[in-house]
Copies of this chain bind each other. A is one copy, B any other.
Amino acid sequence: MKLKVGVIGATGYAGAELVRLLLMHPYAKMSAISSVSYKGQSLSQIYPGMTDLCDDILNDEQYVLDNSDVVFASLPHGLSEEIALKCYENNKLFIDLGADFRLFDEEEYKLWYGSEYKQKKLHKNAVYSIPELNRNELKGAKIIANPGCYPTSASLAIVPALKAGIIDYSNIIIDSKSGVSGAGRGLTLETHFPECNEAFAPYKTATHRHTPEIEQTLSKYADKKVVITFVPHLLPINRGILTTAYTSLVNNIKIEEIIGLYKDFYANEKFVRIMNNGQTANVKYVRYSNYCNISLHKDERTGRLIIISAIDNMVKGAAGQAIQNMNIAMNIEQDAGLCYIPPSI
């Protein structure tokens, strides 16, 4: 019997990608979708590519809650706690693609998001999960905080080195570049085609809200408070995040050994691919898939380890990872509905 899955906020880019992937999931049945702005319209009216494939009518939040066993929400921050509470009380699995449950420390949340938790107790029950790092915590989880796109790309890149103790936890710089879909479907001058096409710049330099989330994960593996510099850039492509992480090796370890260490760390992980020495991760090789490619580069002259990771921000960075989390939490094979091979072009 198929899982009844529902999506709240189905018309944003991440929401629509979730619906698309769930429609192709072998064990899921799309039971309900909602949208505040487009209630009453069909999803295919908003996304004509869905015509004949998802002409379901967008309903409201309550309808999704009433008709789903698993509820995904893809909403601006501040709107997920009430939904999580209702799911929790009704024993439904809730997977939040927003930011509300990502930070463990409410003080950090206040600092970066400017508001308080409304359902403080609930947060204790929430599991933050990049499956490759948090798989074991997912058993029995009822509230899953799906990580941000940048934190996914940065954490998968840096955690193995940090955990192995080969890099200095106090000197980590993360330079990320994201495709424009990461900025969402809302109209802004920055994402108006003539403004961002043939342009390139960082934004929210060293002040982006994903910073504390990355630090939270890295701190766990360093077993010390990690403070990073994080600079995201807007890349004039539709999809993909490439992260270039600059770290300092604590001793003179060979690149082959480092690559071996990473291959061991992710030995059982289908969705993380460690590239061979000499190869370089590229968003091209992971687009439209749930894969994360990682390449490792040693700067022999300075003793720095440069770690490159590439993901599709809409899949591994959002909808795909959410489904991967659902699969594991529901005891389904983790790659169900996620076996798409990245296209060559």
Residues of A within 8 A of B (CB): 13, 16-17, 20, 23-24, 47-54, 173, 175, 177, 179-181, 185, 187-189, 191-203, 205-206, 227-229, 231, 233, 235-240, 242, 244, 246, 270, 273, 275, 279-289, 293, 297-302, 304, 306, 308, 310, 314, 339-345
Contact = CB atoms under 8 A, between A and B. Distances in A.
B288 A343 contact: yes
A54 B342 CA distance: 11
Contacts of A283: 198-201
Contacts of A297: 205-206, 231
A344 B239 contact: no
A23 B289 CA distance: 14
Given A13-B344, A199-B283, A238 B194 contact: yes
A175 B299 CA distance: 13
Nearest to A344: B16
A47 to B, nearest CB: 5
A13 B345 contact: yes
- Of residues A16, A23, A304, which shows the largest number of chain B Cβ atoms within 10 Å of its Cβ? A304
Contacts of A188: 187
A283 B233 CA distance: 12
Contacts of A240: 198-200
A64 B227 CA distance: 53
Nearest to A302: B229
B180 A194 contact: yes
Given A195-B284, A280-B203, A187 B189 contact: yes
Given A185-B192, A187-B189, A237-B200, A343 B20 contact: yes
Contact of A236 (B175, B193, B201, B339): B193
Given A180-B194, A198-B198, A344 B246 contact: no
Contact of A48 (B13, B20, B242, B275): B275
Contacts of A300: 206
